């Protein structure tokens, strides 16, 4: 029979070994990321890059900045790092119009693109470290970070770091948000956030990163109501004596609701939703008389000249010449389209699931070809393995989530419940963001859908690691591993 000191000694050895291996793994992965993808200053612009630049020129504290044609957080990156005196867009890629362009060192953009890439590397490394230090068993302590780093530093994700759009920033902020969510959940499970000083910092960081992520891409904001519902569901799980934690959750619920109200108010006052709205009318409403009738019954002025715009694909600016129609759009356009989706759930869900395979069919950016100058072609097989191009990912994610929920119900311990909450949060917000992205714009659906597709692809590996950690902690070695959890 083992002595009392043996499990602790074994746990200490396992912890030291896994921490050393984790440090070496991160150093190796970051070295590969920095060396395998060419000059870090390389970038490629798109037709939308100039819109971010214009938005960044507005005063930060002005209402115009927060209601401009592009979300405020990516514009903030341009405001901080773009050299406005020397910049020149020399590599503009418009695949649908003039084909692709290879990335170049564009004048005035070096600091901006370096900041974007540095933030991406740091965010995904933090997620890997959080995965490694949060797991209780030595095996997932290494396997988890390895999967995260391989996922993050493979071409399907890294190539977006060279594109002057909002995708890279959104993905990086999501990685940070997931890391903080996992960290908070695990600390709550270990009963480490009962005192105010220990609770304020992680909650403040979580709220701040969530706010930044929400205002990076419009579809991200719809994760807020889902998060609110899951936070409310978590309240009964906390014992009444944990008043600080319950108070923190109540404050977080209030903040998520306030953020969604602020987002909705600023979006309504902006015009960045109008072109997607016109695209939806052209492709999803005007060709169907019954749908046209629904919008007409809700106040949309109908005329033959307006309906003729269904042939104006790619020239949505012609809608602005219909002044009475535009007055209706500004006052009731978004509300009517959301009401249309709510009144037709069979169509909304049916079309979504019908096109789900299409939304997953690509895992690469479309703006430049993969060459050793700006990418890592040898890592493409790894990227295809980790960034699956099949919608089966959704079914597998839901299955893994059910397994995690069953484990939590069987074990009834704080760690399993925390992991189940993180798994439910990751999967649910990814699905709602994907659904909103799909119905938000009928053009560029694959690129827009990435806001939900990439988290679903990542959830496949995160949920797997959480399940493995919970299963292995039921083994005879679990007592030693618990002693070494970090």
Q: Under a CB-based contact definition with an 8 Å cutoff, are residues 38 and 375 in contact?
A: yes
Helix count (H) and strand count (E) of the chain? 23, 0
Q: Do 311 and 367 share a domain, yes or no?
A: no
**At 73, is the secondary structure helix, strand, or coil?**
helix
Q: Do 174 and 263 share a domain, yes or no?
A: yes
Q: Do 155 and 76 share a domain, yes or no?
A: yes
Distance CA 419, CA 247 (A): 21
Domain endpoint, select from 311, 343, 375: 343
> pLDDT tens digits, residue range 95-129?
877 778 899 999 999 999 999 999 999 999 999 99
* 353 is a domain residue: no
Looking at residue 486, its pLDDT comes to 39
What DSSP designation does 166 have? Answer: S
Count of domains forming the chain: 2
**At 40, is the secondary structure helix, strand, or coil?**
coil
Task: Give, rounded to a whole angstrom, the gap between the first and last alpha carbons of the chain.
Answer: 27
> pLDDT tens digits, residue range 147-184?
999 999 999 999 999 999 999 999 999 999 999 999 99
Q: How confident is the model at residue 436 (pLDDT cuts 50, 70, 90)?
A: very high
Looking at residue 483, its pLDDT comes to 39
The 3-state secondary structure of 448-473 reads HHHHHHHHHHHHHHHHHHHHHHHHHC
> pLDDT tens digits, residue range 355-377?
999 999 999 999 998 888 888 99
Phi, psi of 44 (to 5 degrees): -135, 135
Mean pLDDT of 42-60: 93
Q: Do 185 and 107 share a domain, yes or no?
A: yes
Q: Do 150 and 192 share a domain, yes or no?
A: yes
Question: In this predicted structure, which of 275-279, 380-384, 443-447, 480-484 has the lowest mean pLDDT?
Answer: 480-484
Q: Do 251 and 298 share a domain, yes or no?
A: no
Distance CA 429, CA 176 (A): 15
Distance CA 250, CA 230 (A): 12
> pLDDT tens digits, residue range 386-429?
999 999 999 999 999 999 999 999 988 888 999 999 999 999 99
Q: Structural domain of residue 239, as residue ranges?
A: 5-270+362-483
* 355 is a domain residue: no
* 260 is a domain residue: yes
Which residue has tokens 């000191």? Answer: 5
- Calculate the average pLDDT of the chain: 88
Domain endpoint, select from 284, 315, 343: 343
Q: Do 236 and 143 share a domain, yes or no?
A: yes
Q: Do 318 and 219 share a domain, yes or no?
A: no
Q: How confident is the model at residue 6 (pLDDT cuts 50, 70, 90)?
A: very low
Closest to 183 (Cα-Cα) out of 133, 224, 227: 133
* 447 is a domain residue: yes
């Amino acid at each position: 029979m083992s002595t009392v000191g043996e499990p602790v000694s074994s746990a200490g050895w396992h912890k030291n070994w896994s921490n050393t291996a984790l440090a070496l793994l991160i150093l190796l992965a970051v070295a590969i990321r920095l060396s395998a993808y060419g000059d870090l200053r390389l970038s490629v612009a798109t037709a939308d890059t100039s819109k971010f630049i214009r938005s960044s020129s507005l005063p930060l504290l002005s209402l115009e900045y927060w209601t401009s044609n592009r979300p405020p957080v990516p514009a903030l990156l341009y405001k901080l790092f773009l050299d406005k005196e020397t910049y020149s867009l020399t590599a503009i890629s418009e695949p649908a119009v003039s084909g692709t362009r290879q990335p170049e060192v564009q004048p005035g953009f070096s600091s901006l693109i370096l900041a974007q890439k540095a933030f991406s590397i740091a965010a995904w490394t933090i997620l890997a470290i959080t995965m490694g230090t949060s797991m209780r068993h030595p095996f997932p302590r290494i396997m988890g970070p390895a999967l995260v780093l391989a996922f993050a530093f493979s071409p399907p994700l890294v190539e977006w770091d060279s594109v002057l759009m909002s995708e890279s920033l959104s993905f990086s902020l999501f990685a940070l948000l997931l890391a903080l969510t996992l960290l908070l959940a695990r600390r709550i499970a270990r009963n480490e956030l009962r005192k105010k000083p220990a609770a304020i910092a992680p909650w403040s960081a979580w709220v701040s990163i969530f706010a930044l992520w929400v205002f990076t891409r419009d579809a991200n904001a719809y994760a807020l109501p889902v998060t609110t519902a899951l936070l409310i569901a978590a309240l009964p799980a906390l014992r009444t004596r944990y008043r600080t934690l319950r108070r923190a959750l109540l404050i977080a619920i209030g903040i998520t609701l306030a953020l969604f109200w602020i987002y909705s108010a600023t979006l309504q006052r902006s015009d960045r939703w109008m072109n997607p709205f016109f695209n939806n009318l052209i492709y999803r409403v005007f060709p169907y008389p019954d749908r046209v009738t629904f919008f007409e019954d809700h106040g949309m002025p109908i005329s033959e000249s307006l309906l003729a715009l269904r042939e104006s694909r790619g020239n949505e600016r012609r809608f602005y010449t219909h002044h009475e129609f535009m007055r209706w759009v500004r006052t009731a356009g978004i509300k009517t389209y959301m009401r249309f989706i709510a009144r037709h759930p069979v169509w909304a869900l049916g079309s979504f699931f019908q096109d789900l395979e299409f939304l997953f069919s690509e895992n690469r950016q479309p703006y430049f070809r993969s060459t050793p100058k700006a990418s890592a072609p040898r890592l493409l097989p790894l990227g295809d393995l980790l960034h699956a191009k099949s919608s089966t990912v959704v079914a597998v994610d839901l299955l893994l989530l059910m397994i995690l929920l069953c484990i939590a119900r069987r074990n009834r311990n704080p760690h399993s419940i925390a992991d189940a909450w993180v798994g439910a949060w990751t999967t649910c917000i990814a699905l709602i963001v994907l659904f909103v992205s799909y119905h938000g714009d009928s053009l560029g659906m694959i690129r827009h859908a990435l806001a939900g597709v990439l988290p679903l692809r990542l959830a496949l590996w995160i949920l797997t690691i959480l399940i493995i950690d919970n299963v292995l902690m039921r083994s005879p070695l679990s007592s030693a591993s618990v002693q070494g959890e970090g």
